[in-house]
Structure 1
Amino acid sequence: MRIVLPRFSMVFALSVCLLVMLAVLFGPVLAFWPAEHQDLMHSFSGPSARHWLGTDELGRDILSRLGTGARAAVLGPMIVALGAMVWGAGIAMVATYHGGIGESLIVFWIDLMSSVPHLLVAIVALGMLSGSYWDAIIVMIVLLAPGDARIIRNATRQQRNLAYVEALRVAGVPTVRIIFRHILFSVIPQGLVQASANFTTGIIMLSSLSFLGFGVPPGAADWGRMMVEGRLVIGQNPCCMLGAGLAIACTATSVSILSDWLGSRLAMKTGGVHAR
């Protein structure tokens, strides 16, 4: 049982990620129907050979919209996770390695941003801006970067006092190389786990902002927007909401499973490298 469950989870995660990546790359091409194609004569039709998940209130094919909407639903959180990690990790590693006032400022920034409600701040910020999809992504990067900085700061504090770092300093290795070649490689496992958490948070927050009218425009083929619009007609065709909800849940879960596995593997390798 201990062997079967991990294998099943990995197969599940790899399968879902493969399907999602195919949808991101070729969703509009593989779709049975154009995402905006309307057939008012067949609105709210149930699953059938013609429409595998049925249609919505405008007669649009739900499965085709799920495939087409994967690009906006997945690439946005990926950009958020990557942007927050690059910004938060870069600042945290440099400031923590040198210590002093720079590290104190980083700690103050982390504590300040951790004390504010992210969704409320995002709503206020987007209300002052245009409230577009890219505005939402930028705001989320700013809000999530301190969480990455906290994780990377703790990992960097552990690494900067180790014997191999001191040996590199004595050998005259440049500081930039020590930080971005040796310490960075050591904190990658923690960074991957945090990035997967940010990816999940990104999907949820983008969906929440869509509910409030920010991000993708109404009617767009996007998983978060489809959930928001589908909840109003869940009685007519549950697939309008459940299809997008399951897509979000399965994608987030699969990314977390793969990142945990990859993080543990990298942790073993980096530990072995420094041990030698």
Structure 2
Amino acid sequence: MTAVSGTPLFGGRVARLRRTRPGFLTVASAVVLALMALAAIGGTWIAPYDPAAQDVALGATMPSWAHWAGTDDLGRDVLSRCLAGARSALLWPVIVTLCTCVMSTTLGLLAGYRRGWLDAIMMRIVDLLIALPGMLVLIVLVGVLGGGIGWAVLALAVLFTPGDIRVVRSLTMAQRELAYAEAARTLGLRPARIMFRHLLPNIAPTVVAGALLSFVAGLVALSGLSFLGIGLPAGTPDWGLMIEENRTLLDLNPWASVIPAALVTIAATAATLLGDRLFERLSDAA
């Protein structure tokens, strides 16, 4: 059956379903992140051994039936430490993402909608922060402040926010000139209501994609800090810290470093792919 114009009646619906159907990579990315989230929540409960339990006499061993991923130089089970390390490896990047998303979205909306002196001052600060070498500033700040994951999270949120502010500001400036925003102003709606109830839903796809990219950047940066010995205390189950602690065991048990490094890579890749898909899906729905 065809329409009067000759176009298949159900062609548009089928094409739309194909466009919105999640692909294999999207589903795989979502499943991987869901499993990692479960490990972050209950990793210490499902771990076969106590992540902190040591057996110095055993030392570093290759994978076996007793220890599926082997042990490190202190005889600690690598698989158990990977499961327990998911909490710190993923939780702190999520906190960085939430802080970055809230600050950048709020400040970007204000700068793009209000314009004037507020926009001018904010953009000069943003330009200054963007011009700084981010990773170098992060290492110096965390080192001067005495280390610690809390300072690292705060520094990352401050360093990640300026770039996202600029993106949100540009989108807001484009949206505020459209007819629906003009109509809202004509009706006398408050600026806050216009920004957060009308403009924000239309820039949400980019905000969501940016949030997932911030998560990836935070994951990699915090893992790098842990590798450098600046983030978490030594001995804490954490993927980045495990890479540093076990890098000398490549001859005895390379999996002690390879597995946590692979987990960081897989988590970053899955979040990036899922962010791309969410951006496309939300853009189509907008």
The TM tier, using the shorter chain, reads over 0.9
CA distance in 2, matches of 1:183, 1:202: 27
For the pair shown, the structure with the greater C-alpha radius of gyration is 2
> Which position in structure 2 is the counterpart of 1:207?
223
Q: Once the two structures are superposed, what CA deviation does each residue of 1:10-47 show, in whole Å capped at 9, x if it has no partner?
A: 23212211210110111000000011111123222111
Note if contact 2:60-2:253 (Cα within 8 Å) is conserved in structure 1: yes
> Which position in structure 1 is the counterpart of 2:103?
87
CA distance in 2, matches of 1:234, 1:8: 34
TM-score (normalised: structure 2): 0.90
> How big is the shift at 1:173?
1.3
CA distance in 1, matches of 2:148, 2:205: 33
Could you tell me which of 262, 266, 272 is aligned with 1:250? 266
> How big is the shift at 1:210?
1.6
Q: Which 4+ stretches in 1 moved above 3 angstroms?
A: none
> Which position in structure 2 is the counterpart of 1:263?
279
Letter in 2 for 1:214: I
> Which position in structure 1 is the counterpart of 2:173?
157
Pairs within 5 Å for 1:148-227: 148-227=164-243
Note if contact 1:92-1:106 (Cα within 8 Å) is conserved in structure 2: no
Task: Give the RMSD, CA atoms, in angstroms.
Answer: 1.5
Partner SS, residue 232 of structure 2? coil
Partner SS, residue 41 of structure 1? coil
> Which position in structure 1 is the counterpart of 2:5?
none
Could you tell me which of 110, 120, 133 is aligned with 2:126? 110
> How big is the shift at 1:101?
1.3
Alignment gaps of 5+ in structure 2: 1-17
Q: Are 1:68 and 2:79 an aligned pair?
A: no
Could you tell me which of 44, 50, 53 is aligned with 1:34? 50
What number of residue pairs does the alignment pair up? 267
Percent identity among equivalent residues?
A: 38
CA distance in 1, matches of 2:208, 2:266: 18
Q: Once the two structures are superposed, what CA deviation does each residue of 1:88-120 show, in whole Å capped at 9, x if it has no partner?
A: 110110121011111112221221111111111
CA distance in 2, matches of 1:85, 1:15: 24
Q: Once the two structures are superposed, what CA deviation does each residue of 1:127-181 show, in whole Å capped at 9, x if it has no partner?
A: 2213111111011111111111011111111111111100110111111100011
Q: Are 1:8 and 2:24 an aligned pair?
A: yes
Note if contact 2:55-2:76 (Cα within 8 Å) is conserved in structure 1: yes
Note if contact 2:130-2:163 (Cα within 8 Å) is conserved in structure 1: yes
Alignment gaps of 5+ in structure 1: 271-276
Q: Which moved more, 1:167-176 or 1:41-50?
A: 41-50
> Which position in structure 2 is the counterpart of 1:17?
33
CA distance in 2, matches of 1:171, 1:11: 43
TM-score (normalised: structure 1): 0.93
Note if contact 2:63-2:69 (Cα within 8 Å) is conserved in structure 1: yes
